[in-house]
Structure 1
Amino acid sequence: MPEPHEDKRPLAERIAAEIRKLIMSGDWEPGRKVPTNEELRTKYETSNVTIQRALQILKDEKFLEGKTGIGVFVRGERAQTISPAHYIAPAEPGQPYRWLTEATNRQQRGKYRMLAVREVVPPVEVARALRLSEGETAMLRSRIGFLDDQPAELVHSYYPIELARGTRLADRRLIPGGSPALLEEMGYPTRSQDDAVAARPATTEEYEALEIPRDVPVIEVFRIVYSDNEKPIEVTLLTKPAHRFKMGYRIELG
């Protein structure tokens, strides 16, 4: 019988993980004052130095904030749940991309900034999803999405080159209504999408672009969008900072 897997992380990291879960789950509400160091020291049966290290980890990760002479408090906002299903349908004619509309509905200011648009040989998993032969290229559109001026997602979207070349998909400017609206105008309506969701440490690009604190992981979504006859028309690699967002999915049965 295999031996039990032991948590050998430093105690401060383990305590930080316990408190982080309380904040992410909502058990510790935004704005709540954190128990005193003495109370935490007693609860976790450790030293004051270890408690201070644990709290500093969470301050660096923006889960906690210290107020001089008052105490330490839970950050002022919950982790936000994002529902990808809300963005599948193309925007109505003349309307913004649905991601921006949904931000407005939540009383947030959403915007995108384009980083690059270029023809590339895509990563292997993207090429496989787009059904490309070895060495075939795709059109890459890279951008950052912001909510209330904070970086919320880093997006790399790939399109079959024969579909994208000579269209606004190859233009560095943002697409009015977003790519779903443009693809539908081009005769490629979105019929379905597959999402694979994972969590992992951030790359340097993600760490810098999303302003990741310390060792906070990112949520990675690998998305394949299909049109008629199961034709893949877009593959997107999307990453979000895991300390600020959750992914929400609703499944209808029957």
Structure 2
Amino acid sequence: MTRTIPLPAFQDNYIWLLAGADDACVVVDPGDAAPVLEAAARGLRPVAVLLTHHHADHVGGVEAVLARFPVPCYGPDDPRIPAAAIRVGDGDRVDVPALGLGFDVIAVPGHTRSHIAFHGGGALFCGDTLFSLGCGRLFEGTPAQMLASLDRLAALPGDTRVCCAHEYTEANGRFARAAEPENAARDERLAEVAARRARGEPSLPSTLAGERACNPFLRVDAPGVLAGLAARLGQAPGDRAEAFAALRAWKDGFAG
């Protein structure tokens, strides 16, 4: 049985560990080496590193982690990824024998053009593509690309643990309420999140089933989301891509 461990970093990042029974662990997106080295000092043993995209808050600590633990490191085929990483792409599989696990690599362009996600051990490491109740900003990709990426992730098993890279759930929830005012599952999720955050606990991981029920960016076909968009735009979106683009633009300017 594996366990997911979020290590807080910077203001709101999480570096994720997926650990096995003997404390061997995969490290995902070590933007800062210090939390990983501190976890290792407590007994966790990195056996591989996975990188989802090139942004500094995801790769800035890679060299220091690998200097202490010279383990295989995997990342997207992008010159902005640290040179030590083995390049992987859509459809590849990353095996981690020390955990007895393999991870499927899924191309998820949108936030960046070369962004990838890793799915294995019952967990999804999605970087800045999918957040709980939200999705990443479009820095390099198009709305159509991001929608296709989210559709691929949403098709994974519902009990998959969604290990997002930022603690954005409460802020995303405020927008989700504006985009789809009537959603009982979402309101229940936000009540749970508020209680967890009040205890100083992460809101993550969530589950894909929960995100499909609550996250407006996975619900561009839902009547409530479409009604909210129609009211905002003055007309119904022409198709799913137009609905998603309008939803993302609305979120970009949302100050609620």
TM-score (norm 2): 0.25
Which structure dedicates a bigger proportion of its chain to strand? 1
Q: Which has the larger radius of gyration?
A: 1
TM-score (norm 1): 0.25
